[in-house]
Amino acid sequence: MRLPETTTLTLSQQQGVLHIVLDRPQARNAMSLEMVEELMTVFDLVESEAGIRALVLRGGGGHFCAGGDIKDMAGARQKAAEGDPEAFFRLNRRFGEMITRANRLPAVLITVLEGAVMGGGFGLACVSDVALAAGDARFALPETGLGVIPAQIAPFVVRRVGLTQARRLALTGARFDGHRALNLGVVHEVADSAEELDKKLAELLGQVRRCAPGANRATKALVLDVDQVPMEQLLDRAAREFADAVNGDEGQEGTLAFVRKRAPSWAGDRD
Amino acid sequence: MRLPETTTLTLSQQQGVLHIVLDRPQARNAMSLEMVEELMTVFDLVESEAGIRALVLRGGGGHFCAGGDIKDMAGARQKAAEGDPEAFFRLNRRFGEMITRANRLPAVLITVLEGAVMGGGFGLACVSDVALAAGDARFALPETGLGVIPAQIAPFVVRRVGLTQARRLALTGARFDGHRALNLGVVHEVADSAEELDKKLAELLGQVRRCAPGANRATKALVLDVDQVPMEQLLDRAAREFADAVNGDEGQEGTLAFVRKRAPSWAGDRD
Amino acid sequence: MRLPETTTLTLSQQQGVLHIVLDRPQARNAMSLEMVEELMTVFDLVESEAGIRALVLRGGGGHFCAGGDIKDMAGARQKAAEGDPEAFFRLNRRFGEMITRANRLPAVLITVLEGAVMGGGFGLACVSDVALAAGDARFALPETGLGVIPAQIAPFVVRRVGLTQARRLALTGARFDGHRALNLGVVHEVADSAEELDKKLAELLGQVRRCAPGANRATKALVLDVDQVPMEQLLDRAAREFADAVNGDEGQEGTLAFVRKRAPSWAGDRD
């Protein structure tokens, strides 16, 4: 598999896992339009290559992502001044398209959250299947304090933590750390040292590898469709997918491995 | 009231409470199709007998329910091999019909969760009104590790604990105990000994008995319809049910008991 | 700004914050129809005066609100006896109209919860953007214990804490304190003394003042529309509002203040 050329991201691949590092440390990995487009290109690959079972998304230089990019904002302001009134709309909406797609990627999306996890960075954390945070990571929705709104972010925060917590976070700009993020349900695990964080990530990748890739793909689509598709219709579809899975390669290998008390073939997946 | 004849369940009745024991201890109470059908027969009774105010559902032999039944799976595989391609679909979907109905039973459904609470057992726990767990109970969604999908289960897990936790549990097969189940919102109470578990169950049944049966039935239907029925329509219906309740027997007895500072008639319900 | 004349509420205004005290201490601030109508009049003001950025709602005399008013219930019973069968329906539904509107007020709604937070009082707490509770506050849904149903309340409890916790609370009438309310997600902060409660309220008002009023209004409407409006449509609208905000007074002042490292004009808002 050939990885795309990128300038804002550093990519590597290992044992079915694609590692993506947001790599603009001088800007605390602020989410530029270029970064959004490069993530979209990576998502093309993830959607077409069934061999990619998991993505690990983290930030280089000690921060996950500090929010939107100031230069892009200045650029949009200039375009607006030059008679392109849609410039801000497009800039904002494109981020929303990226995050919407990230939420539904067929692979398991894991975020590792350190340092600043603000605005768009917070939104991205909210669409991961599993989020691991450093205890001293700093989360916030600072938008309304700057006179703007968390337009493409707040809806995903609501889906992540529920309306009750989301309304407080969005209307107060409250800052909180990784431990509180665990408590609020933004993240699933918290670690108080880099070693512990790496250990938890390794354990998690071990768990994901023991799950059959195709079954995980179907299951992810299923859980994301709850409350989007009428329940009876969803359960009918799911029963059909269950029958397909049982009769397919993974179901047969899984049954055989279970009976023979050995690991299934996918658990030892190597490049 | 006559209880149905059952071979996979042991039934008993006491003070308006129907106790159901999943009774296939040799198979850790794996959910066989026969057990599903017998539960459906019990649900017929619960829906027709207003005298049953609560159900207590637990497993015999130290386990709640370890998941689906292997023999049923083998049977469906044989039927499929003999030219009945719908066999797996029907087996899976029937469990979903049972759990969908369990979720909406007019009586208060209480689950007592010990030992293995896996797959379908986990799903059943997720539709109870109140769930009590032993601290050392073991929960998991092991399906994708076996090459199949938690088709009729995962949607109820999403409704139980929300998308954020459900996606992690379904895509990692993570195992966790009763204390963590409390923390994740799968269960409402946890107990670290059999005595404590029995004591919590007795307290809970006392609370339920102090609630008027008809009012509880209407209230349960109301909370389950939130986000399924448009809010204004739901509130209109609820106001009408409120007026009916106030003017009905329970409302009049409740008001009188409150004024006279005595227990209402239903609180001392005996067989 | 002229505050309306009220007899069940005590109103005062300070630095863009409207303080509302439920003021029927002899009845533990039971929610009478008169109180409901006076709250509706206050909401008219809040909806028309953009200068009101936050509301602080609390109860006088040590209790927040103990539920519905007994005299109103007796009055409705008499009207029903006199041939007005809709009397209970209207009484109940009117409370629901008030709470539905409270949920969507353009200002940030803060509740300070002490003493009894029961029935309708519990419902009102459930629609606040931020809820602060005393550690020894007492919460419950006592309705079904009285033979009636939490008709206009339970749906807002479901939206507040989710179905899993709401079904237990509504079907058992369980009582719990402020610490447990924090744990269940009913409230956001808990304080164990009056001083701590005042301190937390002051800090919270400071946070809210640092957020731009117009941006907060748009953001509140946005988070409340999640799962009510299709997601793509919501994100399109939000991107348009983002563009408007950036180009508007608040967005320009926010950018300037950020660049100049000074507080934005709205942060020091005074009467």
| pLDDT digit string, tens, across residues C84-121 | 989 999 999 999 999 999 999 999 999 999 999 999 99
Of A159-168, B69-78, B139-148, C46-55, give the lowest mean pLDDT range: B69-78
Cα distances from B241 to residues A68, B67, B196, in angstroms, run 50, 39, 38
The whole-number pLDDT of residue A67 equals: 95
Element (H, E) at A18: strand A17-22
Neighboring chain B residues of A160 at a CB cutoff of 8 Å: 163-164
Tens of pLDDT, residues B38-96:
999 999 999 999 999 999 999 999 999 999 998 999 899 999 889 998 999 999 999 99
Token pair recorded at residue B30? 């794996």
Whether A178 and A121 have beta carbons less than 8 Å apart is answered as no
The whole-number pLDDT of residue A25 equals: 97
ipTM of the complex: 0.96
Task: Kindly list the domain boundaries of chain C, sorted by start residue.
Answer: 9-209, 213-268
Neighboring chain A residues of C216 at a CB cutoff of 8 Å: 144, 171
* CB proximity B88 to C under 8 Å: no
Nearest to residue A68, comparing CAs of A131, A149, A11, A10? A149
The secondary structure of residue B248, as a DSSP letter, is S
What average pLDDT does the segment C181-204 reach? 98
The secondary structure of residue A117, as a DSSP letter, is E
Which residues between 101 and 140 in chain C have a beta carbon less than 8 angstroms from any beta carbon of chain A? Answer: 108, 129-130
Edge-to-edge strand ranges of the sheet holding C189-191: C9-14, C17-22, C54-59, C108-113, C130-134, C189-191
User: What CATH number has the domain spanning A9-209?
Assistant: 3.90.226.10
Which residues between 249 and 268 in chain B have a beta carbon less than 8 angstroms from any beta carbon of chain C? Answer: 249-255, 258, 264
Whole-angstrom Cα distance, residue B263 to residue C180? 27
Element (H, E) at C139: strand C138-140
Phi first, then psi: give them for residue C71, nearest 5 degrees.
Answer: -65, -40
pLDDT at C127 over 50: yes
Token pair recorded at residue B197? 């578990």
Which residues between 145 and 184 in chain B have a beta carbon less than 8 angstroms from any beta carbon of chain C? Answer: 159-162
* C interface test, pick of B157, B161, B219 with most C CB neighbours within 10 Å: B219
Neighboring chain C residues of A147 at a CB cutoff of 8 Å: 212, 215, 245, 248-255, 264
Tens of pLDDT, residues A192-207:
999 999 999 999 999 9
Neighboring chain C residues of B268 at a CB cutoff of 8 Å: none
CB contact (8 A) between residue A208 and residue B93: no
Closest Cα in chain C to B226? C155
Fold of A213-268: Lyase 2-enoyl-coa Hydratase; Chain  A, domain 2 (1.10.12)
pLDDT band at B267 (very low <50, low <70, confident <90, very high): very high
Nearest to residue A45, comparing CAs of A31, A36, A55, A34? A55
Alpha-carbon gap: A123 to the closest alpha carbon of chain C (Å) = 13
Whole-angstrom Cα distance, residue C180 to residue C259? 43
Among candidates A86, A154, A164 on the partner chain, residue whose Cβ is nearest the Cβ of C222: A154
Chains in contact with C, counting 3 or more C-beta pairs less than 8 Å apart as contact? A, B
Token pair recorded at residue A226? 């709850």
Supply the DSSP string of C15-37, one letter for each residue.
TTEEEEEE--GGGTT-B-HHHHH
CB contact (8 A) between residue B219 and residue C144: yes
The whole-number pLDDT of residue C85 equals: 84
Phi first, then psi: give them for residue B260, nearest 5 degrees.
Answer: -85, 5
CB contact (8 A) between residue C207 and residue A173: yes
Among candidates B185, B220, B253 on the partner chain, residue whose Cβ is nearest the Cβ of C164: B185
Whole-angstrom Cα distance, residue C223 to residue A155? 6
Nearest to residue A98, comparing CAs of A216, A230, A188, A8? A8
Of B11-25, B69-83, C182-196, give the lowest mean pLDDT range: B69-83
Cα distances from A174 to residues A91, A166, C215, in angstroms, run 25, 11, 15
CB atoms within 10 A of CB B270: 7
Distance separating the N- and C-terminal Cα atoms of chain A: 10
CB contact (8 A) between residue C171 and residue B220: yes
Whole-angstrom Cα distance, residue B169 to residue B173? 6
Instruction: Calculate the CA B6 to chain-centre distance.
Output: 19
pLDDT at C271 over 70: no
Spatial CB neighbours of A235, under 8 Å, sequence gap ≥ 6: B93, B96, B100, B151, B152, B155
Token pair recorded at residue C111? 């509740």
Tens of pLDDT, residues A6-31:
999 999 999 899 999 999 999 999 99
The whole-number pLDDT of residue C70 equals: 86
Supply the DSSP string of C62-108, one letter for each residue.
G-SB-SB-HHHHHHHHHHHHTT-TTHHHHHHHHHHHHHHHHHT-SSE
The whole-number pLDDT of residue B271 equals: 41
Spatial CB neighbours of B55, under 8 Å, sequence gap ≥ 6: B17, B18, B19, B20, B46, B105, B107, B108, B109, B110
